[in-house]
């Protein structure tokens, strides 16, 4: 499980509550909350009795996703802790099982217990007892919550609500999120998810870190203004998209029998707004120097080479392995290009249609091409990222035989032709990834199948090689042109 511990004596040390973004103006926010509630005449403040503290609590928040955002707390007179985690339920042999992924934690001594008691008292948690906020009419999405707590005097409080919450809820929820996921970086390193990333010395004390269950961010902060410096991403399903030239594949971490892929995104000078006149006026001295060094200096490559593991086993990325997620993305992008060239008429929504010499053409569009392609050379450049140059030439030649391309009005057009609905092949599924080929299962019509039925399957091997840039690309690809399979 990914977890970043914010112990008082840990690497990312925080003075409990004192340096927390959500705590600095807590008194002001609580006063505003109570004033608003008093104006409505709907809430009577119920502070905790003197000497009473929170023994334990659980706050679960559903943000209309498959995972719950959960905050757990345990306290006694000597101290306590608060943990933030994501909870997902899956069905097992004995029914539903909760899988928790902790990602934040803060703890402290007796003073921590007292300040948590004050937070709960100021947020009127005692007054939440029995609150069940019904969803307002006409509200179809949003958030819901369930809460339960036990106090040292033996009393218990439970509450729930759907887009309808007790006074003080948002202040408490935000405070719990801030204290467990954000703090000042006091050392020139970021420890997160079982790895340590060394950072420039001047970042210590001048930058703030924040994180969720799979992303950590370091940023320069001044008041309400902030500028992100880097983003560390950890995924169990493969590296994040590396299309940006400032994203690094750092390596894989094997921990507790699980494999995690670690990527680093370093923000750079391509975002001119980061060193805008406003930021130069807001950030002064050391903080402005940090921004200039990050966006104009050469420290970015150095940071990417300073990662090490503190938990589990670390394998630095060498770039010589095609992982399943990469193979799937490579196949999907390639197939999308093939369909866009030879079955462009199947996807006309939002595209331009051009008629020339009695033949219809449609502006080229590919699922993975975010930017408009203006020329055939633009298309070839995109194709070289997934096909060899030799295969790219064969595909272009094949497309030209079926109608060719037209460059007009800043668009690249391809023939507008529907693919017959009785094609013998249907959807495809990537089965296995090797360094020299992909194994793909393609749904196929069998005798007796209906119009849209594909009860059989055929296995294809798609050969892969490395191009001059070291990128994995296809050296051959099976395309579905018209109603028959052809090898390009």
- Smallest CA-to-CA distance from 233 within 203, 265, 191, 207 is with 265
Cα(273)–Cα(251) distance, integer angstroms: 31
- Residue 25's pLDDT is 57
Number of H helices, E strands in the chain: 10, 28
pLDDT in tens, 235-259: 888 887 655 445 788 899 998 888 9
Task: Tell me the torsion sign for CA atoms 330, 336, 339, 342.
Answer: negative
Same domain, 62 and 80: yes
- Cα dist from 281 to 131, 223, 272, 284, whole Å: 47, 13, 15, 7
Same domain, 289 and 377: no
Same domain, 347 and 469: yes
Q: What is the CATH number of the domain that holds 384?
A: 3.10.450
At which of 155, 181, 207 does a domain end? 181
- Residue 286's pLDDT is 81
Q: What is the mean pLDDT of residues 75-86?
A: 93
- Indicate the range of 79-83, 158-162, 289-293, 465-469 predicted with least confidence: 289-293
How does 205-228 read in b/e, with b if 16+ C-beta sit within 10 Å? Answer: ebbbbbbebbbbbbbbbeeeebbb
Same domain, 43 and 160: yes
Number of domains composing the chain? 3
- Residue 442's pLDDT is 85
Q: Could you tell me which residues come within 8 angstroms of residue 175 by beta carbon, excluding any fewer than 6 positions away?
A: 20, 22, 23, 26, 119, 123
Same domain, 215 and 336: no
User: 224: which 2 tokens?
Assistant: 């309400």
Element (H, E) at 74: strand 68-76
Residue 465: Cβ within 10 Å count = 15
Here the contacts of 436-444 (C-beta below 8 Å, separation 24 or greater) are: 436/463, 436/464, 436/465, 437/461, 437/462, 437/463, 437/464, 438/327, 438/330, 438/331, 438/462, 438/464, 440/331
* Structural domain that includes position 379: 324-487
- Cα dist from 130 to 36, 161, 165, whole Å: 21, 11, 12
The answer on pLDDT for 190 being more than 60 is yes
Q: What is the mean pLDDT of residues 364-392?
A: 82
Q: pLDDT band for position 113 (50/70/90)? A: very high
Same domain, 390 and 348: yes
Same domain, 342 and 478: yes
3-state SS, residue 208? strand
Same domain, 370 and 462: yes
Same domain, 122 and 37: yes
- Residue 261's pLDDT is 92
The conformation of residue 319, written as its DSSP 8-state character, comes to S
Residue 318: Cβ within 10 Å count = 8
Task: Tell me the torsion sign for CA atoms 3, 316, 259, 234.
Answer: positive
Which of 1-5, 107-111, 153-157, 297-301 shows the highest mean pLDDT? Answer: 153-157
Q: Could you tell me which residues come within 8 angstroms of residue 322 by beta carbon, excluding any fewer than 6 positions away?
A: 330, 433, 434, 435, 464, 472
User: 146: which 2 tokens?
Assistant: 């369930």
The answer on pLDDT for 347 being more than 60 is no
Same domain, 335 and 279: no
Mean pLDDT over all residues of the chain?
80
The answer on pLDDT for 353 being more than 50 is yes
The answer on pLDDT for 294 being more than 50 is yes
pLDDT in tens, 148-178: 999 999 999 999 999 999 988 998 998 898 8
Residue 171 contacts residue 77 (beta carbons within 8 Å) = no
Alpha-helix runs per DSSP H in 25-168: 26-40, 110-122
At which of 115, 150, 181 does a domain end? 181
Residue 179 contacts residue 198 (beta carbons within 8 Å) = no
Same domain, 15 and 155: yes
- Smallest CA-to-CA distance from 476 within 458, 464, 460 is with 464
- Residue 22's pLDDT is 41
CA 316 to chain centre: 22
Same domain, 381 and 285: no
pLDDT in tens, 7-36: 443 444 443 344 443 444 556 666 666 666
Higher pLDDT, 291 or 33: 291
At which of 287, 316, 345 does a domain end? 316
Q: pLDDT band for position 344 (50/70/90)? A: low
């Amino acid at each position: 499980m990914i977890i970043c511990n914010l112990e008082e004596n840990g690497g990312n040390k925080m003075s409990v509550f004192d340096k927390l973004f959500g705590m600095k103006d807590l008194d002001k926010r609580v006063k505003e909350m109570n004033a608003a509630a008093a104006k409505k005449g709907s809430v009577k403040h119920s502070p905790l009795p003197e000497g009473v503290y929170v023994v334990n609590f659980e706050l679960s928040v559903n943000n209309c996703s498959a995972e719950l955002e959960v905050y757990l707390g345990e306290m006694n007179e000597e101290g306590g802790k608060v943990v933030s985690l994501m909870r997902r339920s899956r069905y097992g042999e004995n029914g539903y099982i909760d899988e928790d992924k902790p990602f934040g934690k803060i703890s402290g001594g007796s003073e921590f217990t007292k300040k948590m008691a004050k937070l709960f008292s100021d947020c009127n948690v005692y007054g939440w007892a029995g609150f069940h906020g019904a969803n307002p009419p006409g509200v179809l999405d949003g958030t819901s919550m369930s809460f339960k707590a036990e106090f040292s005097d033996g009393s218990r409080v439970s509450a729930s609500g759907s887009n309808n919450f007790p006074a003080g809820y948002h202040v408490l929820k935000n405070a719990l999120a801030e204290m467990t996921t954000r703090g000042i970086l006091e050392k020139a390193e970021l420890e997160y998810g079982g790895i340590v990333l060394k950072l420039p010395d001047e970042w210590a004390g001048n930058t703030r870190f924040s994180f969720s269950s799979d992303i950590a961010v370091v940023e320069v902060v001044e008041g309400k203004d902030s500028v992100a410096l880097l983003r560390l991403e950890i995924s169990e399903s493969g590296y994040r998209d590396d299309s940006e030239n400032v994203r690094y594949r750092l390596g894989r971490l094997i921990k507790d029998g699980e494999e995690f892929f670690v990527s680093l995104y370093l923000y750079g000078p391509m975002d001119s707004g980061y060193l805008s006149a406003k930021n130069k006026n807001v950030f002064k001295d050391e903080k402005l120097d940090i921004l200039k060094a990050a966006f104009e200096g050469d420290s970015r490559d150095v940071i990417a080479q300073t990662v090490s593991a503190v938990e589990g086993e670390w394998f630095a990325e060498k770039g010589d392995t095609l992982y399943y997620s990469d193979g799937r993305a490579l196949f999907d992008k390639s197939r999308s290009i093939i369909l866009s060239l030879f079955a462009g008429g199947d996807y006309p929504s939002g595209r331009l249609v051009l008629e020339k010499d009695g033949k219809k053409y449609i502006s080229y569009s590919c699922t993975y091409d975010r930017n408009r392609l203006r020329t055939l050379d633009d298309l070839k450049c995109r194709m070289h990222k997934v096909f060899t140059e030799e295969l790219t030439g064969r595909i272009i030649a094949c497309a030209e035989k079926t109608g060719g391309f037209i460059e007009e009005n800043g668009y690249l057009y391809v023939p507008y032709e529907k693919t017959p609905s009785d094609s013998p092949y249907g959807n495809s599924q990537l089965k296995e990834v090797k360094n020299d080929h992909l194994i793909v299962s393609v749904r196929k019509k069998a005798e007796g199948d209906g119009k849209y039925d594909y009860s059989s399957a055929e296995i294809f091997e798609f050969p892969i090689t490395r191009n001059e840039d070291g990128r994995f690309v296809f050296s051959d690809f099976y395309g579905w042109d018209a109603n028959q399979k052809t090898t390009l």
